[in-house]
Amino acid sequence: MLGIKGKDLTLLCVVAVLALCAPFILNPFPQSSAMAQFNAGYPDLMQRFVIFGIFAVGFNILFGLTGYLSFGHAAFLGVGSYSAVWMFKLLSMNVIPAIILSVIVAGLFALVIGFVSLRRSGIYFSILTLAFAQMSFNLAYSVLTPITNGETGLQLSLDDPRIFGTSVSDTGGIPVTSLFGMEMRETSTLSLGDWSFQFSNGYYLCAVLLLVSFYISIRIFRSPFGLMLRAVKSNQTRLNYTGLNTRPYTLAAFVISGMYAGLAGGLLASMDPLAGAERMQWTASGEVVLMTILGGAGTLIGPVLGAGFIKYFENIFSKINDNVLHQWFGGLPEGLENAVVWFTEHFVGSGWNLTLGLLFMLVVTFLPGGLVEGGTRIGRLIRGKSKRAEKKAAQSKPAE
């Protein structure tokens, strides 16, 4: 089906089910229970899962396949956001032209940056992409203020032209983003007993686009083109000696992943029509690297998992504060309670970044394959199959 088969098809189906049923899956705790704060089934957060999933899937096409570590991918996300908001300002509030433009603009941007940066490899490539991203960030903050609105960020206003739409909505406010009249922020709620599930149009648009992106990424992974990219990762010199020019391939990968980032940026703007320069900062680029690594670079599902994992815990950890901690550890003797709370405090609330950094270090050190590798290891443990047995099985296959 769809030109993919076997495991890949299963994987796509799993992602599809997960994405479409996310409002149920992420809302396992009843509203009134104390665990309700661990629910993640509200549209705003789910959209972020999916959008950053797209971003990471795109990044993985570059980093996972070719091994080129770009430290400037957030620039494409930012450019995508800006172009989408401009489309909302000038054309109409329909998200389709906005998303298309953001993908195209980000692609062009990636073409220029990639053309220059890909002349070098290794750390030089990382530094070059970083330099370009920082340049875009600095320019967005200073000289390009007419286009980017500097520090305030680009926002919609009542006197925007919007040629194919209305400048002012019927109620006198700024019109909201929509897909042919279907408002993005419209949410319907389904109450089942103590549970309430929210379905938002915006989320489902993002989810569908995630599925499309994921499908494309599977096709790229399994194509001869993907194989070529892997060859670049394993030994570029050898490829060059066989008379192959690798640059068109790496450039194509760079542009594709830039377009993914642009799509993510366009979606971010479609859900919430504003764009700020801080989306292009290099810490944002670091974040997507993190998601990919954490999930498992070079695997299909890894980046999606990583993005979901990081965004989920970012949300949950940021919500926990002193009082919650004291509630949790209330059963301990007082001195111990205070000590435990003091210690835990570092990692929650605004300390989320600390947790993130630590997690990052631990994953890179002990689990370079990310969550996917962790999952395989656990699976192997459960099945009781040791590494050696697997090796034996692999060896016993007849050599051609």
**248 near other proteins (CB under 8 A):** no
Of 130, 268, 305, 325, the residue at the interface with other proteins (CB under 8 A) is 130
Q: Is residue 371 involved in binding other proteins (CB under 8 A)?
A: no
In the complex, least distance from residue 339 CB atom to other proteins, rounded to whole angstroms: 16
Q: With CB under 8 A as the contact rule, which of the stretches 102-110, 173-181, 215-223, 279-287 interacts with other proteins?
A: 279-287
CB-wise, 16 or 239, nearer to other proteins?
Answer: 239
Q: Measured from the CB of residue 53, what is the shortest distance to other proteins in angstroms?
A: 20
Asked if 353 interacts with other proteins (CB under 8 A), we say yes
User: Which residue lies nearer to other proteins by CB, 81 or 281?
Assistant: 281
Q: Is 252 in the site for other proteins (CB under 8 A)?
A: no
| Residue 48-87 contact track with other proteins, rule CB under 8 A, x = bound | -------------------x-x------------------
Looking at the Cβ atoms of 57 and 356, the one nearer to other proteins is 356
Total residues contacting other proteins by CB under 8 A comes to 40
**Is residue 135 a contact residue for other proteins (CB under 8 A)?**
yes
Tell whether residue 364 is a contact of other proteins (CB under 8 A): yes
**In the range 81-120, which residues lie near other proteins by CB under 8 A?**
116, 119-120
The least CB distance from residue 137 to other proteins, in Å, is 9
Q: Tell which residue, 91, 88, 93, has the closest CA to residue 154.
A: 88
Q: Which residues bind other proteins (CB under 8 A)?
A: 67, 69, 116, 119-120, 122-124, 126-128, 130-132, 134-135, 138-139, 141-144, 282-283, 286, 289, 293, 346, 351, 353-354, 356-361, 364-365, 368
